[in-house]
């Protein structure tokens, strides 16, 4: 049985035509699934009995199970249980501009970034498309809201699950489905250069964010093993090509780590690295965990770093801190829950 949330509208149209149904039936089904939020094919009252029987015979509608929810000011953290008894998480953040959900794309992660709780638990498998779609659907249902933004920046490396991620983006962007605008969707990568090159020619105006976190190879090699495969020179070349082809701005994520990457000298080096690139830098105060010796930068150091970038005409923001009273770090709720079990 196939979870129907795996199917894009075009895939569903093709499947129905191949089984002697009408193309427009796919739009009807999408309306029931994503607009009316029906979870039983038998409730799709404008479909013929033969089509409902076919759907029941070959498809399932099976949302993810919400295992635990933690709340803090302007944030909800959701732990989901999967059918193979593994767990993932998603984080809903309330911003001035709307409600943004950060979703997971893998169970665990093999990138082993030193600051990331997700990487402490190695990759078990990729998430299927429906498991990403269901994170969106379940959070919206739980909170009775409609999301304004989705960010693929939770557990896992999205470009290590490229095909399912692209299918997910197509599904949530579909105007007859969830209808989330492409410019309200952001895909983040730690720097998988071949997939950045492939993403360059993706036909939707989805945002690209790069987990940079260092101004040179020496620091980045220590923090992010991916840099030993695709160093900053290769990464920057891919990003420059992406911007040239798409005319899209890139976001550089930069976690502020005390006495590692937060000095004024580091800010100067970062300014030189990205000078002339259509980008902005998002400085992120580090969420400390008991599993790492890394420490969040002092507020003074963060402000001095920010000022240096500003003086060098780099667009920069300091991300608002979320979840100080919950398992704030990416993957931390999952880790804590599994150790409790």
The catalytic residues are 89, 330
d(CA 191, CA 209): 10
Rounded (5°) CA angle 138-139-143: 115
Which stretches of the chain are DSSP H helices? 9-18, 24-30, 49-58, 129-143, 162-173, 193-199, 217-223, 232-246, 264-274, 299-311, 332-340
d(CA 155, CA 335): 11
E strands, 41-117, in order: 59-60, 65-72, 75-81, 87-95, 98-103, 106-107
Closest by CA to 151, choosing from 85, 209, 73, 192, is 209
DSSP 160: G
């Amino acid at each position: 049985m196939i979870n129907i949330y795996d199917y894009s509208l075009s895939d569903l149209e093709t499947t129905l035509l191949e089984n002697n149904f009408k193309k427009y039936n796919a739009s009807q089904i999408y309306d029931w699934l994503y607009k009316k939020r029906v979870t039983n094919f038998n409730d799709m009252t404008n479909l013929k009995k033969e089509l409902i029987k076919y759907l029941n015979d070959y498809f399932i509608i099976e949302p993810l199970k919400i295992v635990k929810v933690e709340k803090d000011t302007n944030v909800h953290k959701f732990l989901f249980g999967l059918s193979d008894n593994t767990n993932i998480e998603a984080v809903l953040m309330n911003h001035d501009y709307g409600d943004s959900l950060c979703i997971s794309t893998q169970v665990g992660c093999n990138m082993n970034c030193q600051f990331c709780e997700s990487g402490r638990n190695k990759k078990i498998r990729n998430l299927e498309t429906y498991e990403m779609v269901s994170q969106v659907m379940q959070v919206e249902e739980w909170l009775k809201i409609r999301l304004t933004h989705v960010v693929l920046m939770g557990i896992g490396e999205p470009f290590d699950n490229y095909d399912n991620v692209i299918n997910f983006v197509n599904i949530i962007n579909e105007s007859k489905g969830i209808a989330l605008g492409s410019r309200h969707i952001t895909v983040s990568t730690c720097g998988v250069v071949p997939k950045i090159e492939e993403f360059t020619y993706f036909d939707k105006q989805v945002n690209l964010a790069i987990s940079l976190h260092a101004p040179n190879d020496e620091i980045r090699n220590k923090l992010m093993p991916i840099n030993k495969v695709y160093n900053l020179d290769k990464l920057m070349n891919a990003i420059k090509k992406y911007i040239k082809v798409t005319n899209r701005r890139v976001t550089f994520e930069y976690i502020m780590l005390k006495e590692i990457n937060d000095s004024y000298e580091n800010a100067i080096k970062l300014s030189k690295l990205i000078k002339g690139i259509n980008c902005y830098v998002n400085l992120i105060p580090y969420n400390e965990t008991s599993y790492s010796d890394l420490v969040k930068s002092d507020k003074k150091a963060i402000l001095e770093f920010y000022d240096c970038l500003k003086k060098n005409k780099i667009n920069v923001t300091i991300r608002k801190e979320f979840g100080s009273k919950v398992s704030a770090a990416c993957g931390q709720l999952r880790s804590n829950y599994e150790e409790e079990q």
